[in-house]
Amino acid sequence: MFPKLRIMFVFGTRPEAVKMAPIIKEVEKFPDMLESIVVVTGQHRQMLDQVLETFDIKPDYDLCIMEESQSISQIVARCLNGLEGIILREHPDIVLVQGDTSTAFSAALSAFYHKKTLGHVEAGLRTGDKFEPYPEEMNRRLTSNLTDLHFAPTKMAVQNLRSEGFAKNHIYLTGNPVIDAIKMVVDKPYDLSKMVKGIDKNKKMILVTVHRRESFGAPMRDICEAIKEISLSYIDQVQFVLPQHKNPTVRETVSEILGDLNNVVLCEPLDYLPFVKLMDAAYFILTDSGGIQEEAPLIGKPVLVIREKTERPEAIMAGTSKLVGVKKDNIINEIKLLLDKPAHYEKMSKASNPYGDGKASERIVGAVMHHFGFTDKRPEEFS
């Protein structure tokens, strides 16, 4: 009989929690073989706690690192310091990190310093530009270099890793666990009007999220000005709903430009279930988020990606998302196309799902068990 395999999950922001949650739940299915140690850094506070509650996850450790207007260096330094004691005390067999946040990179570095096996969920996404998105592109590239088991969500991610020289047998094509997460909640009933006041069902609702650091300043102002212009010229037909990220830099610009408009609803960040319901109720989505680019195609909602580059080209190739940049006039034109040209809207709103089949967590946990000799069988690839 093997001793139990100790799997340490480290995450700190809302999107990491959403994508790690189904993997933690999968580990719970093997209580005789696997043991999870859940460490949250608390890089996000309120936004993280909402997700933990939704998926009923109680962390074993919470580093509580969040501070107002924290710098990236502060995040990394506090994560490294906090994780050291926990890794030394818990002796995990493997540390799992997700994606490209500074929490993920710090935990990967800490695992390396303590010579722990590292698994990287959502490995292999790339834009090829060091500063787009910033600091995420380098966070994920550096993490790949520290990783032993790469869990790539798509074929393209596998190709990226292969072209950088990572060994084939250390890469598992798993699909993205965000699809597992959304499938866990999408059919649950929920009354949206409880959470978001002022939704007008007679208008086409455009859901907006913005938070990227590389958009701070002029691009963020341009994005907001574009929304303002559309809201004024389509005052009777359209309503924008914008759940605001907690980041004060984002809030300042958003409320200055959009705060006083009748058909723009600004609300607090939503819990995962109401947010999924809001996506479902939207006519289309305007976002710079990564996770939403993966979730929206599953529920057949067109996405305009307000960024210069994306590491998620699959939905763009499938025709359900479009990269529209951060220039005001272009954003306005693309919104108008979706509002005014039904054929264009129809084409973009077909449901397609290049990111997963809901079994990514099963494959990731299967791959970990395979790596440590708990099973001879390598998990079947996502296709």
Q: Give me the active site residues, please.
A: 100, 122, 136, 211, 213, 245
41 near ligand UD1 (CB under 6 A): no
126 near ligand UD1 (CB under 6 A): no
Q: Nearer Cβ to ligand UD1, position 14 or 19?
A: 14
Span interacting with ligand UD1, options 78-86, 186-194, 240-248, 325-333, rule CB under 6 A: 240-248
247 near ligand UD1 (CB under 6 A): yes
We find the least distance from the C-beta atom of residue 186 to ligand UD1, in angstroms, to be: 21
14 near ligand UD1 (CB under 6 A): yes
Query: Taking Cα atoms as reference points, which of 117, 111, 110, 91 lies closest to residue 6?
Result: 91
We find the least distance from the C-beta atom of residue 214 to ligand UD1, in angstroms, to be: 11
Query: Taking Cα atoms as reference points, which of 96, 113, 77 lies closest to residue 39?
Result: 96
Strand partners, 151: 121, 172
| HSE toward the beta carbon, residue 251, CA cutoff 13 A | 10
User: For residue 135, is the peptide bond before it cis, meaning its omega torsion is within 30 degrees of 0?
Assistant: yes
We find the least distance from the C-beta atom of residue 18 to ligand UD1, in angstroms, to be: 10
Span interacting with ligand UD1, options 20-28, 41-49, 155-163, 231-239, rule CB under 6 A: 41-49
| HSE toward the beta carbon, residue 373, CA cutoff 13 A | 5
47 near ligand UD1 (CB under 6 A): yes
43 near ligand UD1 (CB under 6 A): yes
Residue 231 DSSP class: H
Report the C-alpha gap between 289 and 292 in whole angstroms: 6
Give the Å distances, CA to CA, from 39 to 239, 291, 352, 382. 39, 21, 34, 28
Q: Nearer Cβ to ligand UD1, position 155 or 246?
A: 246
**What mask of x and - would describe binding to ligand UD1 in positions 265 to 284, judged by CB under 6 A?**
--------------------
Report the C-alpha gap between 303 and 324 in whole angstroms: 10
Give the Å distances, CA to CA, from 20 to 26, 30, 149, 248, 251. 10, 17, 16, 26, 27
Within 8 A by CB and 6+ apart from 272, the residues are: 18, 50, 51, 54, 55, 181, 185
**What mask of x and - would describe binding to ligand UD1 in positions 48 to 67, judged by CB under 6 A?**
------------------x-
We find the least distance from the C-beta atom of residue 114 to ligand UD1, in angstroms, to be: 21
In the set 9, 20, 24, 44, which binds ligand UD1 (CB under 6 A)? 44
In the set 4, 6, 45, 309, which binds ligand UD1 (CB under 6 A)? 45
We find the least distance from the C-beta atom of residue 71 to ligand UD1, in angstroms, to be: 8
Give the Å distances, CA to CA, from 365 to 18, 56, 241. 16, 19, 37
Tell me the three state secondary structure of residue 148: coil
We find the least distance from the C-beta atom of residue 32 to ligand UD1, in angstroms, to be: 35
The binding site for ligand UD1 (CB under 6 A) comprises: 13-15, 43-47, 66, 68-70, 72, 100-102, 135-136, 211, 213, 246-248
